[in-house]
Amino acid sequence: MNPNDVETFKALLVRRRAELLAEGDVELVPENAGDDTARKVDEDAAPLAEMNQVIASKRNLERTRQLEAISEALDLIAEEPDDYGQCEDCSEPIKRRRLELMPWVTLCIRCAEQHERAAASGRRRHITDYK
């Protein structure tokens, strides 16, 4: 990848990181909020609140993972810019379109699918695996 392209992706990474940092974590309501208004909540609302908590913590986890991946990609660009955009596994160039969507990826689509299959084979398949 030529240095101008690396700069382009670096800019994308820096912008994405700034967006993620600006969003911040979704605030999780402590389970024992300890105030009476929380206890008076309609019983029907409890499962919904619980589901919202699950969604919020999943989102926070994904955000944390993405921030880590972005900072690793930026480290790579700083230290070994020639390696950026190459698949970690097979050393083939990662498709530009893939990098434009996810500039932090370190695997080409083929290797990423292999990793996913390997990870999925160890656990029960879930509907979200197919999205």
Site residues for Zn ion per CB under 5 A = 87, 89-90, 108, 111
The nearer residue to Zn ion, 74 or 87, going by C-beta atoms, is: 87
Q: How far is the CB of 96 from Zn ion (least distance, A)?
A: 15
Residue 57 to residue 63: CA distance in whole angstroms: 10
Looking at residue 93, the DSSP 8-state letter turns out to be B
CB of 91 to Zn ion, least distance (A): 7
Residue 49 or 93 with smaller CB distance to Zn ion: 93
What is the Cβ-side half-sphere exposure of residue 66, based on CA atoms within 13 angstroms?
21
At its nearest, how many Å lie between Zn ion and the CB of residue 110?
A: 5
CB of 15 to Zn ion, least distance (A): 26
101 CB-near residues (< 8 Å, 6+ apart)? none
Report CA 17 to chain centroid distance, whole Å. 11
Q: Which is nearer to Zn ion, 13 or 87 (CB)?
A: 87
CA 43 to chain centre: 34
Nearest CA among 72, 112, 73 for reference residue 92 = 112
